[in-house]
Every structure is written in C-alpha cells, then in structure tokens.
Amino acid sequence: MTIKSQVLALKYRPQIFKDLIGHEEIATTIYNSIKNNSSANAFLFTGIRGIGKTTFARIVAKALNCEQSLESICEKKCDQCDPIANSNHIDVLEMDAASKTGVDDVRELIEFSRYPPSVAKFKIFIIDEVHMLSKQAFNALLKTLEEPPKYLKFIFATTEVKKIPITVISRCQRYDLSRVKSEELFNYLKNITSKEKKDVEDNAIKLIVKLSEGSVRDALSLLDRATISNNENALTFEDAQKIFGYVNKSSYIDLLEIIFLGNEEKIINHYRNLYNSGIEPNLFLNDFLEMLYYIKNISHIENEGNNFTLNDNDHKKITSLSKAIDPSAILLFWEFTLKTLKEINLVANPNLLIEMFLIQLTYLKKKTVTENSQQNKLSNTLIKNVDLKNTRSKDPINQIKNIKQEDEKIERKNTIEIKNFEDLIEICLKKKEMNLKYELENNVNLVSFSNMNIEISINDKLNKNFIKDLSEKLYDWTKNRWLISFSKEKGAMSEKEKKHNLKKKNITEYKNSSEYKNLLKVLPDIELTDIEKKDD
C-alpha cells in the first residue's frame, strides 16, 4: 500500500515521541528513563480507543532498540526502527490477546523469552488488549514479569484496566493516557487538512472533534470519511452535519420552546424532521439529556474557544431559555427522560415511544406550572395572615419568623409522632405497610430506640431493602431523617419470639391451675394449645 492510498489514521501515525499529541508529560518521563538506562521491566498503557496506546508501545520499542542516538530516533530510519514500525522485527513480537487468550499461548511466549535477542539490544513483547488474557495465562506470566532477564521488556496496552489482576498491574509501570483536549485535536486536524490540501471549514473540524470524544484515531477516520464523501468540494459545517447525521443543538432548543408552548402538532412535526435527518431514538434521548443539562447549568459553563460543545449562538439561546424555564420543570424532564431511556428497548417501535414521550412532557410542564401557582397562592395566604397579625409591627425579620412558624405548624399537623418500637409497628399497620410490619415483628432484634435513632442487631433473615424502605417511610411520616444502624450486640427478642414465649408461659401457668386439673378429671384426653383473653 502506497503512502498516498493509506487512510489518514495510518498515514499520520506518530513515529517518534515529539509527534505524539496530548501526552507530552508521559513521553518526557519515558524518554528520560530510557536515556538514563533506568526503564521499567514492563510498561502498561491504558485509555480509551484510538488514544495512542499501541503507537506509544511501538515508539518505546524503537527508543529501546534504535541504532541512532535517542535524540534522533527514527528521523534517519535504521535497521531496527523500520521493521518495528512495520511490525515485522524478529525480536519485537506483537501479540493480540483478544485472539490468543489461553495459558498455552503465554507459555510459548515465556519459552521464547529464554533466548536472547538475535539482532537488537532488547527482546520486546507488545501485548495488545492484555485484559483479554485468561486468569491462568496471567498467573503463568507473573514470575517472568517480576524478574525478567535483562534483555527482556514487556509492553501492555488495554482499554479496560480494571479487568487486569492487581498482581500484574503492580509489576508494571502504569501510564494512563487521557482524552486529547479539543483545542489540541482541532489544531492537529487543521494541520493535516493543510498538508492534504483539503478545504475544510473550521466549524466542520470542530464538529469532528466533538464527535471523536477525544480519540485521535476516531477524529482522523471521521475526517477521512468527510473528505471522501465530499470529494474535491469544500467541506462546510452543513455538509458535515449531513454526512454524520448530526443534529444541531439549536434544533433541541427550538423543540423545548415548542414543548413549553404546548403545541402537540408542532412537536411531532419537529421531531419527525429530526428523525428523517437520520437521528436514532436512543441518540435523540441522550442529546436531549445533554441539552437539559446545559439549560440547568448554563450559568456555570464558560463559552471558551477550547470547548466545541456549544457555539456562541447556542450559548446565547440557552442562556435566555434557562431564564424563562422553571428549574423544577427541567429536573422533572431530566428524570422522565432517564426513565424513557431505560424503557426504549422494551418497545418494538422506539420512534413511537419518543413521540409519546414528547407529548407527555407538555403535560408534565402544565403540572409543574399548576403546582408552582398553588405554592405561590399558599405563600401569599400565609403572608397575608402574618401581615394581619403584625399590623403594628413593620419589622420584616419578625414577619419572616412568623411565616416560618406558620409553615412549621402546617407541617407538624401532617406528621406522625413515633415514641417507641411498638408505635412504629402500629403505624405500619395503619399505613398498610405489611412487609415492613412483618420484618419488624419477625426479623428485627432491637438494641435501642431513642431520638430518631434505631439500633438493631445483625440478622441474615432481614430483607436487603429493609433499611432503605424503613428510612424512606419514617421520613414521609415524621418529616425527619432517622438513623438506622446495625450493632454487633445481641439485641432483644423479636416481637414474634416475645409472643411465642408469652403464649408458652400462659399455657404453663394455666396447666398448673386447679381449674385445668378439674377439667382433666372430666376430660382426660384434653390438650391445651392456646389461650385467648376476651375483653368481657
């Protein structure tokens, strides 16, 4: 494959440390360690896809084996660097752990490592997607990894570092490669379009940067796709939107404005236009969530040049919309959108679900407006009542105190007082919380109950959601936060055990009474199983 016919991601793959973008500190650290002959036995590179993990591994391999001076690594291609770059060096073995996961593959690797390098200074094993190795394979690698021969180096790359055993990670020098910043990636792509003599608008490049999410390979692949799709013509922002099926933020802003106007027909038509432009229902909901976030938090978001998420016009629109929309409505929309996102895979036609979701939002909006007006009416009534009581006093502080006292009185009327454990069981019965009542009577061993603090002993039979459910109900009933904790102390008997022991005691006492003995004379086969006390 000629250089001209190569895709951009391969054509512009970094070959030396100074070509790398976004990871200058890591590159400097590794460069210095190699220069001072103090490089690690094993390197571990981790990060998202297309961030430069395998590229880093090859550059490190070249730096370790380069015949030229380290400063001029690969600028004059030597007999070591050229084969490493082409993945055909006899002493630098690249292995894909996704296809070779077993312990036998690793044993072959260890066997091969016993022989010194043929032509290079170091024998190097580059293992990509190392997290795919099996547990047995990792165990087989441990000893060699900890004390390898002086001529042997390991370089690992992974996107899922959490799947690698900690015993392996502790034997490596770990480097976390972060997403490349938007501004750096923009300048990088701008430079490539200049070298390729492609006419691409800055806004189109910014869109590519946004869609790549900090991945250099993704950014180059998207740029490749866009320039090929547009052939020799100049690539505009509008062209890029059509190519990638991207919907502008302003479309979501317009949609929210229509929702708050309550025009159902316009809402459906607006969404259908978005759908026909190529957006998927799942992606629509995620973008909608992103827009809700911006509207709620726009005052905390600076519209700087290195953030390509919002342009100046969108920033102004969202700022004015956030002032017009009640924050409580945005939070309610957020919760409802998350709920819809979870349910989207349950329906055969997600498109219909989105249309119904948008119509429901108009009713949610009406509900929040109604609730807010009712709250305002209540507040106004309270203020009027307080003003009547304080006609002689013009002190606003006293008025605020009185309003607070009135609020507290209203709240106290709706709360329930729970003084002890028996009250708690009784209220569960009244409120028909039978699951809680059952747990309290059968599986709770009380250690202490006082000042909104309940301490119980550990019981394996207790429902795993008991603490959470009881806390929520106690707050609903008393308007106070209760502390419910486990104790290592044994605790009192459960209510069920108490009732059982009391029943046993009553039966024993009655059996010792003269009344029962007289009954036995008349009915010798009688058996006492229970005693009930009647009110009369």
Instruction: Say which range, 322-331, 334-343, 411-420, 452-461, has the weakest mean pLDDT.
Output: 411-420
Q: How confident is the model at residue 396 (pLDDT cuts 50, 70, 90)?
A: very low
Look at residue 251 in the predicted model and tell me its pLDDT.
83
What was the pLDDT predicted at 242? 79
pLDDT at residue 343 above 50?
yes
Cα separation, 40 vs 345, whole angstroms: 48
Task: Considering only residues 299 and 54, tell me which one the structure prediction assigns the higher pLDDT.
Answer: 54
DSSP 200: B
Residue 399 has pLDDT above 60, yes or no: no
Instruction: Give kind and range of the element (H or E) at residue 176.
Output: strand 173-176
Lowest-confidence segment of 147-151, 166-170, 330-334, 370-374 by average pLDDT: 370-374
Percent of the chain with pLDDT over 90: 15
pLDDT at 380: 52
E strand segments, 336-475: 446-450, 453-457
Higher pLDDT among residues 297 and 393, named by residue: 297
CA nearest neighbour of 42 among 167, 102, 109, 126? 126
pTM above 0.85, yes or no: no
Helix (H, G, I), strand (E, B) or coil at 343: helix
**pLDDT at residue 188, rounded to an integer:** 93
- In this structure, of 50-54, 223-227, 280-284, 403-407, the range with the lowest mean pLDDT score is 403-407
Q: How far is CA 62 from CA 16, 35, 131, 296, 408, in A?
A: 9, 13, 24, 50, 73
- For residue 56, give Cα distances in angstroms to 13, 185, 212: 10, 17, 20
57 vs 403, higher pLDDT: 57
- Which pLDDT score, from 0 to 100, does residue 386 have? 46
Q: Which residues on adjacent β-strands are paired with residue 155?
A: 43, 126
Report the distance separating Cα 536 and Cα 524, nearest Å. Answer: 29
Q: Is the pLDDT of residue 313 over 80?
A: no
Q: What is the per-residue pLDDT for 388?
A: 46
pLDDT band at residue 76, thresholds of 50, 70 and 90?
Answer: low
Contacts of residue 318, Cβ cutoff 8 Å, sequence gap at least 6: 249, 253, 291, 294, 295, 298, 310
First to last CA, the chain: 103
pLDDT on residue 177: 92
Most confident region among 212-221, 277-286, 448-457 by mean pLDDT: 212-221
**pLDDT averaged over every residue in the chain:** 81
70-79 long-range contacts, CB within 8 A, separation 24+? 70/31, 70/34, 70/35, 73/16, 73/17, 74/15, 74/16, 75/16, 79/119
- Helix, strand or coil for residue 415? coil
List domains and CATH numbers for the chain: 8-176 (3.40.50.300), 182-244 (1.10.8.60), 249-366 (1.20.272.10), 421-492 (3.30.300)
